[in-house]
Amino acid sequence: MSVQQQYKMFARWRGTTIVGTSRVITLVVGKVYQEPPTVIRYPQSCAYCGNRTDTFYPTDVEVFATTDGTGYMHLCAQCIRRGGYKLCTECKEVYTTDEMCKECYKDVHADCAICGNTRLIGEMYDVDGDYCCEDCTFYCESCERSCIGEQHSTGSITICDSCRNEFYCTCSGCGNLLHYDDANSDDYGDNYCEYCWEEDNYEDLSDDPNIHDALYKPSVFQFHRAVCEVIGAFYLGVELEVDGGYGAANLAGDLKAIPNADDMFYLMEDSSLSSRGLEIATMPCTLSFHREKYPWEPIIRQCLNHDYKSHNTSTCGMHIHASKDRMTTEDKTKLAWFVYQQQANLEILARRKNNRYCRFKNLVDGPTDSLGCSPNKYEALNWGGSQTVEFRLWRGSLRLETILGTLDVTDAILHFVREMEPEQLMDVDKTWATFLDFMDIKNDIYPYGVQYLELLGMFPGSGAESYDEL
């Protein structure tokens, strides 16, 4: 059998065509096979041009085509190139793509776990067992590894969020990050960098009559409810932290000048804030009173007039206390399960991630797991208060719509879990979809909450909108 007859036989098997007499070939192989266990070998010369050489690898390439376990054909490298085929740079197999065969391509490439783009593995970073590309990672100079997520600057080095929470604190004088080993602490638990400690460059509020220490509690709480309030309404108390302004003493004086201030709120220091920071703690109020009667607008206006911020800081949260006397034991475990189960969704609403001041738990025993109700102060839900449960997950804000929206969402969560049976809260996605339906149906009760959810793109089919937080 001549070489041309052999090639025509191969053409019938594999869809090969020979164009004219110019001997230019178009070869459709489809897949390169390893040598079958039983084959009939033709002489090791190119089936097209007939050339023989003493060296067959890698200058010559063996291409196997099998039909019923028989059939073998050899093409030299020159004829392979004429047909548009190449040698894989890794395994030396014949391939038709631009770089290498599919199997080798998979071996040396991976998808970034963050953005999903495909990159060479040698150009990516291993972050906790996942491949991440350079665009999605940064180098933490504290733990000396590639990291993802939020990054922080100490002024001299870049650190990851984990190192920030575990090893670094904020100087209560200048607000800069510093390592705990380099911090100076006073009797109140405030930390200071060397400069602020030596220069005494911080505000001493210990003698200010308007500002109490961090452990202060009023001897009598004033409870406020709206006229014709719905029976069974939760009382909600807000602890709003503000920082970074011109002076806490000056701000406190102007806040206390607001009419009926003593009946509405009290002011405290807080060790998580700088020495110029303040915590504005409201008296317990129903949701309707917060929306209709509470002096949120003058409070916000005075804070902004003194150049204070809340959202746009690294220190401020907004903690909301809810009365526990409205909850059964089952209500409490269902609430804890919902909050910790919905961490991903609630972190979007909270505008901040899990951190050492509001840690999320990993519950495994469902809506009856009592571990979610432990009295640890620095968890997302703090059950340590004698009368209240504290929602610690929310980030602070001086934007009225965000404050009222967060109050709406908090009150809605409390009523939602009370209406649901434990088995209805098991599935993460279904539970969240049901909660969104609950909010939508009660739009007239929670208008600011629905508006806030829409703003953040939480409803199906809606996109997050751009807006300025304060």
Looking at residue 103, what is its pLDDT? Answer: 64
Is 110 part of any domain? no
Q: Which residues contact 309 (CB under 8 A, 6 or more apart)?
A: 242, 243, 244, 245, 316, 398, 470
Q: Do 408 and 271 share a structural domain? A: yes
pLDDT of residue 391: 96
Tokens of 287: 């949701």
Last residue of a domain, one of 85, 103, 121: 103
Is residue 353 domain-resident?
yes
Residue 13: give the domain boundaries.
Answer: 3-103
The beta strands (E) that lie in 352-432 are given as 381-382, 388-391
Amino acid at the residue 1: M
Number of residues written out for the chain = 470
pLDDT tens digits for the chain (470 residues)?
Answer: 443 444 344 444 333 333 322 222 333 333 333 333 333 344 456 555 666 643 333 333 344 333 333 333 455 656 555 554 555 555 555 554 455 556 666 777 888 888 888 888 877 888 888 888 888 888 888 888 888 888 888 877 888 888 988 899 888 777 888 888 888 876 567 788 877 776 554 567 778 899 999 889 999 899 999 877 777 789 999 999 998 887 899 999 999 999 999 999 999 998 888 778 899 999 999 999 999 999 999 999 999 999 899 998 878 999 999 999 889 999 999 999 999 999 999 999 999 988 888 888 887 767 777 777 877 888 999 999 889 999 999 999 999 999 999 999 999 999 999 999 999 999 999 999 999 999 999 999 999 999 999 999 999 877 777 777 87
Q: Examine the domain organization and report whether 356 and 223 are in the same domain.
A: yes
pLDDT the model gives residue 63: 42
Amino acid at position 464, single letter? A
pLDDT of residue 45: 62
Say how far apart CA 192 and CA 200 lie, in whole Å: 9
Residue 121 placed within a domain:
no
Task: Specify if 188 maps to a domain.
Answer: no
Q: Is residue 262 situated within a structural domain? A: yes
Please tell me whether residue 440 adopts helix, strand or coil conformation: helix
Residue 135 placed within a domain: no
Query: Rounded distance, CA 32 to CA 73, Å?
Result: 12
346 and 221 housed in the same domain? yes
Helices (H), 129-260: 161-167, 194-199, 248-256
Q: Note whether 77 and 222 are same-domain residues.
A: no
* Geometric angle at alpha carbon 215, from 310 and 331, rounded to 5°: 75
Give the residue from 52, 87, 103 where a domain finishes.
103
The CATH number of the domain where 373 resides is what?
3.30.590
Q: How many domains does the chain have?
A: 2
Rounded CA gap, 65 and 27, in Å? 12
31, part of any domain: yes
Asked whether the whole model's pTM tops 0.75, one would answer: no
Q: Are residues 97 and 236 in the same domain?
A: no
Residue 77 maps to a domain: yes
Bridge-based pairing state of the strands 265-268 and 211-212: parallel
In a shared domain, residues 91 and 215: no
- The whole-angstrom separation of Cα 461 and Cα 337 is 27
